[in-house]
Each structure stands twice: as C-alpha cells, then as structure tokens.
Amino acid sequence: MKLCGINFCFPGFNGARNGAIQLPDDDESDENLSQGITPVGNSSPEFLSFLAKNPEYNSPFLDELRQSDFKRLDDPSHPSCYLDYTGAGLYPESLAASFADLLTKNVYGNPHSTNPSSQLSSRANEAAKHAVLAFLDANPNVYDLVWTSNATGALKILAEGYPYQAGQSLVISTDSHNSVNGMRAFADRAGAKVEYLDLLDDMRGLRISSHELTERLLNLKGSSASPGLFVTTAQSNITGLKAPIHELVPLASSLGFTTLLDAAALLPTTKLSLEKLHGSLDAVAFSIYKMIGLPTGLGALVIKKELLEKLRKPWFCGGTVQLVQAPGAAVTMEQGPARFEDGTTDFLSTLIIPPAFATLEKALSNSLGARVAALTFWTVDQMSKIKHEVGNSPFILVRSPNILLPKAEMAKLHGGLIAFEVMDKTGEYVSCEVIEYAASLQGISLRAGCMCNPGGAASIMKMKEMMSELRSGETKKDIQAKWGVRAAGVTRASFGLASNFSDAHYFIKFMESLSRAGELEKMMSAFYNKPRDTSAC
C-alpha cells in the first residue's frame, strides 16, 4: 500500500519536498510549512493498529481494485490524495479502457431510427436500463427509467410535471441540496404549499427519534387523504446524515404522499433496494458520475410507471412526440420514458453502464460500505486529538452529526464524509477556503463551501437564526460582510470507491502539520495575498 501525496508538482507551485507543504513560487523564500509527512505502508505500525481495531476494513477485492484500476492516485510523478468522492466518484481505469474499446470497435448511431447503427445503440440503451433497475432491485414491471443529464434533471422532471391539486403540499427535508430546494418554485406556481421537515435534533446533534418523526409528518399531512409530494434526501452531502428511509418512506407513503428520494450521495457507497421498501417509494433520482466517475453527463429518474403516466409535460420537442401538426396545434406525445427524454439521449454514455454498475455492485458486496465507515470513524477520532501546538487549544471542530457515536451505530446513521471547521490559536474561525487552498498545495482534494445545501450548512454550523434573516437579492459578498469568514461554509473530506488507509493517514498528517506553531498563519497570509484570477470578471 503506497502513500498518496509525496513530492507533488503542480503547475505554478513547487513540488512538496518530503511531504512538506510548499508555498507558491512567489513565496519560494519562505520555509516549508510542515515538518514533513512520513509515508505509511501496509506493514507500518499505524496501519496494523488500525486494521486490528477495524477488521471490517479488510477487502482483498478493494485492495486489488485500488492497485489495478486507480494507479494514477499512487503515481510517484503526480500522486493525488482524493477526498472529494461526494463531489464526484472516480472511474476505474479498466472502465475507461472498456469504453474506448466499445467506441473504436463498433458503429453506434442516433437511436431514433431502424438502421443497423441505430439499432445497436437502442439495444445498448435497453441493456443499460436493465442494469440500473437490477442494481436497485427495481421490478421492471413496476418501475421505468428516464435518462437525464444528472440528478438535478431527474428532480426537475417530477418538480415540473407533478399534478398538484388544491390543498396539496410539497414537503422537503431541510437538509437538502439546492436541486431539491429548487423544486419549490414549481410548487409555488401550482399553488401548493411548501413545507420543510427537519430530521436533525439540534439540541442533541443527532437524528430525531421515530416518535418525533411520526409526529412531524402527521402534522405536515393535515387532514388530506392525498397530501402531495414528499421529497427526502437519502444521505446529506454536507451533514452526512442518512435519512431513515426504511421507516420514513413507508410512513410517508402510508399517509398518502407521493414519495421521491434524492439518492445522489447515498448510492456510491450504500446499497439501495427498492424491493425492500415494498412499493412505498414512487421515484428515485441520482447521477451516474457520483457513483463511479464515468460517464459524467448521465443521470436517471427511476419511477413507477403509474406515476410517470400522471406527470404533465409542459412542452414538447424532438424525441418526445409521435406526431406534430405544423402549422397548427395538434400534437401526439410519446408514451413512457421517451415523453420526458428531450431530444437525443446521451446514447454513447449508456454503453458503459452495465460494466460500471457490475463493478460497483461487486465493490458493495466486498465491504465497500464497511471500509468507508471504518476510514470515516478513524479519521474523525484522529481529528479530535489534534490541538494547536502552542496553547493546546482546539484546532478542528467536527461539525458532522452522529459521527462520534459508536462505530456500528454511526455507520447506519452517517455516510462517509466529514464536515469540519478550523480555529486559529486565538479561537477565531479560519475560512474553509484557506484549508482547501492549503490542502491543494499538498495534493489533497477537499471541498470547501456550503455544498449547495444551505439548510444542512446552517444546521451544523449553528447558524439557523442567520439563515432566517436572508433576503432575496443578497449576494455571497453581502453575507460575508455580515457574517464574516464562516459565511463561506465548512471544509468537507469524503471517502469512496478507491479510498484506503493511506489517504486517511496522509490527510491527518497534513492537518497535524497545519496545527504546528505559525504554520496556519503562514498559510492564511499566502492565501489572502495570492494573485486573484480576474479572467472571469
């Protein structure tokens, strides 16, 4: 097992020597910001100690997958410590090779025809749909699949086409991506109420109890037998909270809600079986690239056939119609998924879906979820021990809820991501952008910001009152002026398909180096004094 992240070399930056954080070229005279990061191998005391405490981490299949299909992460000439799997999955190299092989050995044409190349594309498309439905344990007699460009596109189909009736509501989890929050715009136009359901207990920092969940949902339902559309986030992309979908979805369905699941952050590391939800889930949206990195322009809405037929289509275009009168007003729409697949679908991208999903299915059956949970638990434990070298004051504030629970319980309630903030030696918050910048110099890919999830960010940062004061038209610059550096959000590290102990260990050693006397201050100075890119202005 090799350490990722040694002797980095990036355009515009010096390579880090002996794992030391290095400032940009214009600060070349400054000393290294760290004392060096020692490589860790699979025979190191650190790894052996970790493995003894986390035997569920062991997976020969995942070790071989990292070595054979993610060699680029450990390439000595340009290694990378990738910790942004919630942002995007990484594709196995063999998958890219298979894709290239398919493209160079076959002729694929636009599927809207009956010629040989078109039929080859159509057969590949059907095979891809079958692979996705099988992956989700979705009965093809009950569920259908609509290809979209991403999870956002899938959510929009239901948001735009849902047939709201008088007195109905759109109920959204507070801890949701803006692509879910944006569904309220269509609900507003249809005259539906918009309600939010908070699954987090602010006092305890934990998921609410089953009793509280039932009470809140009953209150939102009211007296209507058909209360509307209920949308929940399966796993938050900022808090890491896993919704109790096997309790929540059947409950909402039993109360008469149409149920939609945003599974974009859940599916990369957790198995979802629609069969085990016993028909209570009406639709699920997700992006393929989040799951396995390739292709990047394809998402899906898996939806019950009976619900799909009820959705309204506010316009028509190529691919969605059988007949159009022009000039005139007559139009006959296509039936089934084709009615919502605007134009020509990304038919080349569907070629790689069967092998991609087969790889992910095998990874999940070979302890991917358990490995990710072990890495997350160990990393949080190590982060909690890091203090400022001078004064021994807190350096890191882990903001993810549920994450300090016993490991077995945490794995059920929390995904493989860690949201955190850093404080300087005086107790002042440090901008998440500084930490992201410092990590990038060391070849570590983190993510900084509110992750397009304002409700979740406000919750874990204890800023709900400030969130309530926001007004339309205010900009990021406006709220930064009012709230200070915390307005930028949190820093997030996340694990996924190719993650191993060396990634987590390297990240911890980086954070330890940043806590040493004077190093955080030097990095803040470098960040705030670096040349700004004005090309986009």
What pLDDT does residue 20 have? 43
What pLDDT does residue 407 have? 75
| 113 and 79 co-located in one domain | no
Axis crossing angle, helix 116-135 with helix 353-365, rounded to the nearest 10: 20
Task: Say which CATH number the domain at 128 has.
Answer: 3.40.640.10
* Dist. CA 346–CA 214, nearest whole Å: 41
What pLDDT does residue 11 have? 32
| 140 and 41 co-located in one domain | no
- Nearest 5°: CA angle at 228, between 253 and 225? 70
Task: Name the one residue in this structure whose structure tokens are 């090779």.
Answer: 97
What pLDDT does residue 532 have? 66
The residue that leads in pLDDT, 6 or 111, is: 111
| 170 and 258 co-located in one domain | yes
Output the CA torsion sign for 470, 474, 478, 480.
positive
| 255 and 302 co-located in one domain | yes
Most confident of 11-20, 186-195, 402-411: 186-195
Task: Say which CATH number the domain at 402 has.
Answer: 3.90.1150.10
Amino acid at residue number 170: L
| 28 and 127 co-located in one domain | no
Q: Do 242 and 412 contact (CB within 8 A), yes or no?
A: yes
Q: Is the pLDDT of residue 237 over 70?
A: yes
Average model confidence (pLDDT) for the chain? 89
Q: For residue 13, what pLDDT band results from cuts at 50, 70 and 90?
A: very low
| 63 and 151 co-located in one domain | no
The residue that leads in pLDDT, 380 or 478, is: 380
- Nearest 5°: CA angle at 63, between 57 and 69? 140
Structural domain ending residue among the three candidates 291, 315, 347: 347
Lowest-confidence region among 67-71, 134-138, 437-441, 487-491: 487-491
| 288 and 395 co-located in one domain | no
Most confident of 359-373, 451-465, 519-533: 359-373
Residue 11 is assigned to a structural domain of this protein: no
Residue 434 is assigned to a structural domain of this protein: yes
pLDDT in tens, 164-209: 999 999 999 999 999 999 999 999 999 999 999 988 776 555 577 7
Contacts with 377 (C-beta within 8 Å, 6 or more apart), sequence order = 54, 403, 407, 410, 411
- CB atoms near residue 195 (< 10 Å): 19
pLDDT in tens, 86-124: 999 999 999 999 999 999 999 999 998 999 999 999 999
| 322 and 280 co-located in one domain | yes
Domain that holds residue 232: 109-347
| 387 and 495 co-located in one domain | yes
The residue that leads in pLDDT, 33 or 343, is: 343
What pLDDT does residue 537 have? 33
Residue 193 is assigned to a structural domain of this protein: yes
Contacts with 37 (C-beta within 8 Å, 6 or more apart), sequence order = 3, 5, 6, 18, 19, 20, 442, 506, 509, 510, 513
| 66 and 118 co-located in one domain | no
Residue 459 is assigned to a structural domain of this protein: no
Q: Which residues pair with 417 in a beta bridge?
A: 494
Residue 461 is assigned to a structural domain of this protein: no
Q: For residue 23, what pLDDT band results from cuts at 50, 70 and 90?
A: low
| 131 and 223 co-located in one domain | yes
Q: Do 425 and 431 contact (CB within 8 A), yes or no?
A: no
- Provide the number of structural domains found in the chain: 2
Based on its alpha-carbon atoms, the radius of gyration of the chain, rounded to whole angstroms, reads: 24
Residue 417 is assigned to a structural domain of this protein: yes
* Dist. CA 509–CA 525, nearest whole Å: 21
Q: Is the pLDDT of residue 416 over 90?
A: yes
Q: Is the pLDDT of residue 401 over 90?
A: no
pLDDT in tens, 447-473: 999 999 999 999 899 887 788 888 888
Lowest-confidence region among 76-85, 362-371, 464-473: 464-473
| 41 and 115 co-located in one domain | no
